[in-house]
Chain A
């Protein structure tokens, strides 16, 4: 069963027409030419639509349930993935997964939020909203990667850190700050890929990297458009306006120097072809790692610090 976002209606109509014609063709009529012409039309409509998504439409695409998540990227890119659990202080947080594996044959540490794909797994992963334990586990794994001279790959996909009583009591803010701190201390290369939602502090905690890549239709922001709408406009219905004004798209963030590279998504968005999306991301990650290969520990740290200190300084 295909699902369409509200703004994809024209494409949905063409697709259902194609289905009808196919059914006709199956019953004997020779209309293959007509089918392929409508197919072409549908493909073009999809391409045009996705070339001009508004920030709010991108928000919907970034949150699409069928979009490839952390686990899809790991399955597609990492062999021998061995997840490690627990922060050694309080608990295990399955919203933020981390472990070691091989990327194109070489050891890599992978951390990132998993939103889950079914009701059951969404609950298990707390919709990708990590608690302090998740960030403290990330710190533990980054420290280990640093010691064993293994690069770190962060896959960022979270609406934000979890707002809860326990999370606050156990120092959510401190855990995020320490995780950012740990990223900035790494003497190994780290690459962050914003694969879906880069939600505020919960994202930056693992996205403070030598190279920050971002999928074409992902979003990255200081606060969700919905929350910004209710705080700044004092009106929950202004999320679309907030999404536009806050400049949350990959294209805006590249212009601001907040991200380094935009990763193309397949026609009609990552959710229409998760495997191709993952493969493309894999090539970009390999390129980024290659670029950083010549830098020694000190240069990697310096490059990362300098890069973040420079953000915003050159904007007119």
Chain B
């Protein structure tokens, strides 16, 4: 069964990428300082000066991790659309449609397979811009598929979490993604492959009550908001002010809940080192510029023609 669809190369992506105007300024959410968008983009979306870590799109994140900014998109299974026929102020199907148009993604989780400093890894990225990175059936299935692929390829699995929590529009079926993703984490554990979680800003709710807290190694980006219950809910429940830095990455580290807080510029080497150490790989792995195993030269370079998440054959029942 072929789960790997189109190969994504840097050049093509640059052509497809939406051009941002040269004069676009953005404001640092932390200090209020105005900076050129292009400067932020070229700095891995970290604001120069304040070091505030902005959110990253799924594609930008995958580019920042894989060797040569190149990876295979992993085909993700179709899931039933809107089984609850849900509507609040708007129909859920319309919200999904808008999110797809806005982000170019099929749902909130994207999965890539490629090399990280020479070693094979599966990387899943949650894109907060897609309905707050919420965990519904599609996202849950994506995490399951990513972990299954890591088992099949006998390689580590890295997830970049960013989520407001479960997707309420899918009701209890979104809640069911907590045990479902946990089953998949157990399968990777039984395959004795490392599972590394990178908690990015923000990671809250149901996601933290399942796969995002079950990593062998838990990393967080500086300043990331990480927590189960929302700050407002807690304040309303206990009727007192929350302590300084509450639910921030550094606070969680100080309370023993995560292993390390790592600056985005240091993430790639840190992840690569951890993968090598935990898989007992040698200290350095020879990296060819375009590993033959990853990119076939005769492959048509037309990723635009390939759907974002073509329906894949159903997964084999896990043993």
- The residues of A with any CB-CB pair to B shorter than 8 Å are 161-165, 167-174, 176-178, 180-181, 183-185, 200-201, 204-205, 208, 220-223, 227-228, 231-234, 238, 241-242, 245-248, 253, 256, 258, 302, 305-306, 308-309, 311-313, 315-316
Contacts and interface: CB of A to CB of B under 8 A. Distances in A.
A177 B206 CA distance: 9
Q: Is the interface of A mostly helix, strand, loop or mixed?
A: helix
Contacts of A312: 79-80, 83, 137, 140, 173, 176, 180
A201 B209 contact: yes
B246 interface: yes
A35 B266 CA distance: 81
A258 B173 contact: yes
Given A185-B186, A233-B89, A165 B238 contact: yes
Interface residues of B, number: 57
A65 B238 CA distance: 23
Given A168-B228, A177-B182, A246 B175 contact: no
B88 interface: yes
A28 B182 CA distance: 69
Contacts of A171: 213, 255-257
A167 B179 CA distance: 21
B237 interface: yes
Given A177-B210, A181-B214, A172 B173 contact: no
A312 B140 CA distance: 11
B179 A208 contact: yes
B243 A165 contact: yes
A82 B208 CA distance: 33
A162 B237 CA distance: 9
A305 B189 CA distance: 14
B97 interface: no
Contact of B175 (A163, A173, A222): A222
Contacts of B84: 245-247
B25 interface: no
A231 B27 CA distance: 27
A245 B206 contact: no
Nearest to A198: B172
10 A-B pairs with least C-beta separation = A163-B229, A173-B208, A173-B228, A232-B88, A201-B209, A222-B175, A176-B209, A315-B80, A174-B213, A208-B179
Interface of B: 79-80, 83-84, 86-89, 137, 140, 144, 166, 168-176, 178-180, 182-183, 185-186, 206, 208-214, 227-230, 233-234, 237-238, 240, 242-243, 246-247, 251, 255-257, 314, 317-319
A201 B175 contact: yes
A10 to B, nearest CB: 31
B172 to A, nearest CB: 5
B298 to A, nearest CB: 35
Contact of A248 (B171, B176, B243, B255): B171
B286 to A, nearest CB: 37
Contacts of B80: 312, 315-316
A174 B172 CA distance: 20
Given A176-B209, A312-B83, A168 B186 contact: no
Given A305-B318, A315-B80, A184 B186 contact: yes
A242 B137 CA distance: 20
A58 B22 CA distance: 57
B172 A256 contact: yes
A306 B168 CA distance: 24
Given A165-B238, A174-B213, A231 B168 contact: yes
Contact of B186 (A247, A253, A305, A306): A305
17 contacts: A163-B229, A165-B246, A176-B228, A181-B182, A181-B214, A184-B179, A200-B206, A204-B179, A222-B171, A232-B88, A242-B88, A246-B84, A305-B183, A306-B317, A308-B179, A309-B144, A309-B180
A144 to B, nearest CB: 20
Given A163-B229, A168-B247, A201-B209, A256 B83 contact: yes
The residue in A168, A200, A242 that gathers the most chain B C-beta atoms within 10 A of its C-beta is A168
Contact of A168 (B89, B182, B227, B317): B227
Contacts of B172: 220-222, 246-248, 253, 256, 258
A184 B179 CA distance: 8
Contacts of A201: 175, 178, 206, 209, 228
Contacts of B251: 169
A221 B234 contact: no
Given A221-B175, A228-B168, A177 B180 contact: no
Given A178-B214, A184-B179, 15 more contacts: A163-B237, A177-B178, A181-B182, A185-B186, A204-B178, A220-B172, A222-B171, A231-B168, A233-B88, A246-B86, A308-B176, A308-B179, A308-B180, A311-B173, A312-B140
Given A181-B182, A308-B183, A309-B180, A164 B237 contact: yes
B88 A172 contact: no
B182 to A, nearest CB: 5
A223 B79 contact: no
